[in-house]
Structure 1
Amino acid sequence: MSIYGEKAKIIAGGVDLVPRMRLRKIKPECVVSLQKISGLDYIESNGVGLRIGALTTLRSIELSPVVQRDYTILY
């Protein structure tokens, strides 16, 4: 990231970045994957808000008891 700066894009699951790249809406010089960084697949609720890690799958969000109970708009 320090070399490419804004010319780089970060990819976690790819649901946003990959389709835009296929449509040639963006053409990053470098794509940096977060896949090997542990601890980015979490769902946390602290009573004030909900935190969802960058590597949390949509399926995990759907099946989360916290989301189903407290954030029904996402369920």
Structure 2
Amino acid sequence: MIHPQSSQHVAAVPSAQHRTWTVRSKITVLLLLTLRSLAALWTYAAYLSLGDALTLKHVDTIGNHLARPPGEVFISL
């Protein structure tokens, strides 16, 4: 860099805002983003599956408490 008032070259000093990333940092960030995305997908899939499982359990409970007793009475008659 040339100083405006002289013809001497001045070494450019990196500012504090300039940040260099190491290869290890870049790989770590990429892996964390990937794992975070996979965790979000897994959570969503688990939420959907759990909802269906709870619905099936509720239907089974209704069937055992409401449908079976009248059927047993009918068979015993």
Interval containing the TM-score (normalised by the shorter chain): under 0.3
Q: TM (normalized to structure 2)?
A: 0.19
Choose between structure 1 and 2 for higher RCO, CA contacts under 8 A separated by at least 6 residues: 1
TM-score, normalized by length of structure 1? Answer: 0.19
